[in-house]
Amino acid sequence: MVLDRSKWKRGLALFLITIMMVCGNGGVIASGEENEEKISTGEDVLIQAPAGILMEAGTGTMLYEKGDEEKRSPASITKIMTLLLIFDSMSEGNLKLTDTVTTSAYAKSMGGSQVFLEEGETQDVETMIKCIVIASGNDASVAMAEHIAGSEQEFVKRMNQRAEQLGMKNTHFEDCCGLTDSDNHYTTAKDVAIMSRELITRYPQILDYSSIWMENILHVTRQGSKEFTLTNTNKLLRSYEGCKGLKTGSTSKAKYCVSAVAEKNGITLIAVIMGAPDYKVRFKDGAALLNYGFSKCSLYIDEQPPKLSDIKVKKGEKDQVSLVYENTFTWLGTEGKSIGEVKRKLIVPEQVKAPVRKGEKAGEMEYYDGDRKLGSVQILYNETVPASSWMYCLKKLGKRLAFHMGQQLTSEQTG
C-alpha cells in the first residue's frame, strides 16, 4: 500500500505540533516557576548595589538580604567597630568623655578623610568621637586606638576579638579606620549590620553624635587656635525622615558603603549598602531599604504587663513566692499588616512544692492575636524558698505555741 505523500506530511506535521504543544505547556509551567522565583527574590531589584541587608534592630530580624555574606572591603564603615570599642572602654570604666587624647605623628600622617589633627594636639574623647562619626576622621580614629590600646596594631587585635565575640564569621580587620587596600581587610553586609546593632542597642547615645549634621571643633596648636567645621558624610540625615546615623565609607576598592539607621513609630531599622557605584546610588539604595522595611514592619511591645501575684508554696520556709517576668515581650510583624488587639494568657500553677530557686521558670505569659499565638515570655521565681526542715518546723511550732500562750494569758488577766 502506497501512502499519499501529502497526507503523510500533514500527519507528520500534526504529530510534531502535538509534541510542541505538550512541551510548550511544560515550558509555560517552567517559565511560571521561574517568574515565581523572581517574584520571591525579586526584591533584589530594590537596590542597585551588589550587596545590602536590612535588619530590625530590636529583634535582629533580617528583612532583606542581597549578597549579604560576600566578603567586601568596608572602607570607613570599619569605624563602627572602632566606635564600639571606644564605648566599651568607657563602659568598663577605663575611659571618660572628658579624658584628654594626644595626637601622635603617626596619627597625624593618616591620609584620606581627616580632621587635620596636628602632632601633639590634644582633644577630649567626646570631640574625638564626633570627629570619627561625623567627619570620618582617620587621624582621630588612630589617635583613639593608640590612646586605648597603646598602638593601632594592638587595638586592631581587639577589634577582631570583638568581631569574633559577636559572631561576625566573615570579618577581619587590618586597621582601625578602613583606609587600607589590603585584601585581608574585609567584612560583609551581614556582619556590618551585626556590629551596627551592637553599637546602637548597647550604646544608644552614639545616635546623639551620629545625627549631628554640622559642628565646629577648635584646633589648639603651637601655631595658635582655629575653628574647624565637622560636616556629616551621611546625606540621609537631611533627605530621609527619621534617619539618625550611622556611618558612611568609600574608597576606590570598596566603592560606596553606608550603614544607615532610622527610627519611626518605635521601630529602628539598620540598612547596610556595600559596593555601590557612586554616592547617589548608595543613599538611594539605603532609602529604598528603609522605605521597604517601614512598609512591612509592625511592632508590639507589652510595656505594661499585668502585675504578677504571689503563688502558694507547700512545705517551704515561706508560704508564698513572688514572681517576675524574664523580659519584656516584643513581637515584630513583617507582613505589612497592623496587629489587632493582643490578648494575654497567664500560665502559672496555683501552688508549688518547695524548694523553689530564684531565676527558675515558674510559668509563662502567652500572647495571641485572635487564634494566632504571637509568642510568650517566661515567668520566673523572684526569690528562693527552701524546703522546710525539722528545725524550721520546730521553730515555727514554738512561735505558734508562744503566741497562743500569750493570748491565753492576756485573756485570763483581762477576765
Does 79 qualify as catalytic in the annotation? yes
- Report the relative pairing of strands 243-251 and 330-333 from DSSP bridges: unpaired
Helices (H) and strands (E) in the chain, counts: 11, 18
Q: Which of 73, 89, 104, 136 is catalytic?
A: 136
Does 76 qualify as catalytic in the annotation? yes
Listed in sequence order, the residues at least 6 apart from 195 whose beta carbon sits closer than 8 Å to its beta carbon are 80, 81, 84, 163, 166, 168
228/211 Cα distance (integer angstroms): 18
29/10 Cα distance (integer angstroms): 29
78/257 Cα distance (integer angstroms): 10
Q: What H or E segment, with its residue span, contains residue 54?
A: strand 51-56
Report the side by side order of strands in the sheet with 342-347.
Answer: 323-325, 372-381, 361-369, 342-347
- Give me 157's grid cell: 587585635
Does 130 qualify as catalytic in the annotation? no
Rounded to the nearest angstrom, the gap between the alpha carbon of residue 152 and the centroid of all alpha carbons in its chain is: 27
**Nearest alpha-carbon partner for 232 in 256, 254, 253, 248:** 248
Listed in sequence order, the residues at least 6 apart from 317 whose beta carbon sits closer than 8 Å to its beta carbon are 354, 385, 386, 387, 388, 389, 392
148/209 Cα distance (integer angstroms): 20
Q: Which of 73, 76, 89, 196 is catalytic?
A: 76
Q: Which of 66, 73, 79, 284 is catalytic?
A: 79
51/188 Cα distance (integer angstroms): 8
Active site residues: 76, 79, 136
